Structure 1
Amino acid sequence: MEADNNTKSHYTYQAVYRYLLDWIEASPSDVEQRLPSLRQLAQRLNVSVSSTKYAYSLLEDEGRVYARPRHGYFTRASKAPLHGECSPSLLDTVFSSARQPGMLALSSDAPAMLRSLEKPLLMIERELARQYPRSHAPLYQPFGEPELRGVLADRYTRSPQRYWHAEHVFIGSDLRSILELSLRALSLEGQVALVESPCSWAVLRQLLAARMTIVEVPLRADGRFDLEQFRQLLHAQPVRLAVLSSATNVPQGGLMPAEDKQQICRWLAEQDVWLFENDGYGEFCFEASPARYRDFADPDRLLVFSTLDKVIGSEAPYGYLLCRRHIAQLQQLFLERAFRLSPIRQKAIARLYASRRVDQHVQLLRAMLHERMQHMHGLLQLHGQGYLRWGAPQGGASLWLEATRPVEMRRVFQRLLSQRIVIAPGEIFSQQGLWRSHLRLCYTLDWSKDIPQALQRLVKAIQDEAQTP
Structure 2
Amino acid sequence: MKGAREHDFVYQSVYRYLTTLIDDAGGHAAVRMPSLRQLADRLNVSISTVQYAYALLEKEGRVYSIAKSGYYAQALFSLDAPGDGGDLLETVYVSARRPGMCVLSADEPASLQPLDSPLMTLERELLRQYPRQPQTLVQPCGELELRVALAARYTCSTANYWHADDVYIGADLRGVLEILISVLELREAVVVVESPCDWVILRLLESCDVRVIEWPSLAEGEVDLSALEMLLRNEPVRLVVLSSVLSLPQGCGFTREHQQAIAKMLERYGIWVLENDCYSELDERADSQRLRNWLDPDRLLVFSSFEKFIGAEAPFGFVLSRHWRNELQRHFLFRAFRLSPIRQKAIARLLSGGRLDQHLFVLRRMLGERRSSLIQVLRERLGDALQIVEPQGGATVWVRSVRPVDMANVFRRLLKQQIIVAPGELFSLRGLHADHLRLSALNHGERDLSGVIGLLGDALRLSGAR
CA–CA distance in 2 between the matches of 1:413 and 1:285? 29
Give 1:419's aligned residue: 417
CA–CA distance in 1 between the matches of 2:68 and 2:411? 33
Instruction: State the shift of 1:448 in Å.
Output: 4.4
CA–CA distance in 2 between the matches of 1:140 and 1:454? 49
* Structure 2 letter corresponding to 1:457: L
Instruction: State the shift of 1:9 in Å.
Output: 7.7
Partner SS, residue 378 of structure 2: helix
Give 1:120's aligned residue: 118
Partner SS, residue 273 of structure 2: strand
For the 8 Å contact 1:244–1:278, the answer to whether it is kept is: yes
CA–CA distance in 2 between the matches of 1:405 and 1:376? 21
Unaligned runs of 5+ in 2: 1-46, 74-84
For the 8 Å contact 1:402–1:438, the answer to whether it is kept is: yes
CA–CA distance in 2 between the matches of 1:176 and 1:90? 20
Give 1:290's aligned residue: 288
* Structure 1 letter corresponding to 2:66: R
Structure 2 residue aligned with 1:312, among 310, 318, 341?
A: 310
User: In structure 2, do the counterparts of structure 1 residues 448 and 154 end up closer, same or farther at CA, with 3 Å as the change threshold?
Assistant: farther
For the 8 Å contact 2:102–2:445, the answer to whether it is kept is: no
For the 8 Å contact 1:222–1:254, the answer to whether it is kept is: no
Instruction: State the shift of 1:253 in Å.
Output: 1.4
Structure 2 residue aligned with 1:259, among 257, 260, 263?
A: 257
CA–CA distance in 2 between the matches of 1:19 and 1:350? 27
The reply to whether residue 442 of structure 1 matches residue 436 of structure 2 is no
Give 1:187's aligned residue: 185
Report matched runs for 1:152-163 at 5 Å.
Answer: 152-163=150-161
* Structure 1 letter corresponding to 2:414: L
Q: Which moved more, 1:447-456 or 1:143-152?
A: 447-456
* Structure 1 letter corresponding to 2:296: D
Give 1:338's aligned residue: 336
* Structure 2 letter corresponding to 1:39: I
For the 8 Å contact 1:240–1:272, the answer to whether it is kept is: no
CA–CA distance in 1 between the matches of 2:54 and 2:300? 35
Report matched runs for 1:397-416 at 5 Å.
Answer: 397-416=395-414
The reply to whether residue 351 of structure 1 matches residue 378 of structure 2 is no
Partner SS, residue 320 of structure 1: strand
Partner SS, residue 317 of structure 1: coil
Give 1:388's aligned residue: 386
What do you get for the CA RMSD once the two structures are aligned?
Answer: 2.7
For the 8 Å contact 1:224–1:254, the answer to whether it is kept is: no
Instruction: State the shift of 1:159 in Å.
Output: 1.0
Instruction: State the shift of 1:388 in Å.
Output: 1.2
Partner SS, residue 310 of structure 1: coil
Structure 2 residue aligned with 1:108, among 106, 109, 115?
A: 106
* Structure 2 letter corresponding to 1:92: E
CA–CA distance in 2 between the matches of 1:41 and 1:458? 48
User: In structure 2, do the counterparts of structure 1 residues 40 and 293 end up closer, same or farther at CA, with 3 Å as the change threshold?
Assistant: farther
CA–CA distance in 2 between the matches of 1:88 and 1:219? 28
TM superposition score normalised by structure 1: 0.82
Partner SS, residue 312 of structure 1: coil
Report matched runs for 1:155-174 at 5 Å.
Answer: 155-174=153-172
Give 2:14's aligned residue: none
Give 1:303's aligned residue: 301
* Structure 2 letter corresponding to 1:44: Y
What is the identity percentage for the equivalent residue pairs of Structure 1 and Structure 2?
44
User: In structure 2, do the counterparts of structure 1 residues 40 and 417 end up closer, same or farther at CA, with 3 Å as the change threshold?
Assistant: farther
User: In structure 2, do the counterparts of structure 1 residues 337 and 130 end up closer, same or farther at CA, with 3 Å as the change threshold?
Assistant: same
The reply to whether residue 232 of structure 1 matches residue 230 of structure 2 is yes
* Structure 1 letter corresponding to 2:225: L
Instruction: State the shift of 1:293 in Å.
Output: 1.3
User: In structure 2, do the counterparts of structure 1 residues 247 and 364 end up closer, same or farther at CA, with 3 Å as the change threshold?
Assistant: same
Instruction: State the shift of 1:324 in Å.
Output: 0.6
Give 1:277's aligned residue: 275
For the 8 Å contact 1:223–1:256, the answer to whether it is kept is: no
Instruction: State the shift of 1:128 in Å.
Output: 0.9
CA–CA distance in 2 between the matches of 1:125 and 1:387? 49
CA–CA distance in 1 between the matches of 2:145 and 2:68? 35
Instruction: State the shift of 1:442 in Å.
Output: 1.6
User: In structure 2, do the counterparts of structure 1 residues 323 and 379 end up closer, same or farther at CA, with 3 Å as the change threshold?
Assistant: same
Partner SS, residue 161 of structure 1: coil
Report matched runs for 1:58-73 at 5 Å.
Answer: none
Give 1:325's aligned residue: 323
* Structure 1 letter corresponding to 2:71: R
Give 1:39's aligned residue: 66
Partner SS, residue 168 of structure 2: strand
Instruction: State the shift of 1:239 in Å.
Output: 0.8
CA–CA distance in 1 between the matches of 2:323 and 2:53? 33
* Structure 1 letter corresponding to 2:163: H
Instruction: State the shift of 1:133 in Å.
Output: 3.9
Give 2:197's aligned residue: 199
CA–CA distance in 2 between the matches of 1:226 and 1:172? 35
The CA deviation string for residues 296-315 of structure 1, in whole angstroms up to 9 with x for no partner, is: 11112111111101111111
* Structure 2 letter corresponding to 1:284: L
Give 2:91's aligned residue: 93
Q: Which moved more, 1:297-306 or 1:220-229?
A: 220-229
CA–CA distance in 2 between the matches of 1:11 and 1:274? 49
CA–CA distance in 1 between the matches of 2:49 and 2:146? 20
Q: Which moved more, 1:147-156 or 1:180-189?
A: 180-189
The CA deviation string for residues 87-139 of structure 1, in whole angstroms up to 9 with x for no partner, is: 97111111111111111111111111111110000011011111224477984
* Structure 2 letter corresponding to 1:384: L
Instruction: State the shift of 1:190 in Å.
Output: 2.0
* Structure 2 letter corresponding to 1:111: P
The number of residue pairs the alignment matches comes to 410
Instruction: State the shift of 1:13 in Å.
Output: 8.1
* Structure 2 letter corresponding to 1:402: R
Give 1:249's aligned residue: 247
Partner SS, residue 406 of structure 1: coil
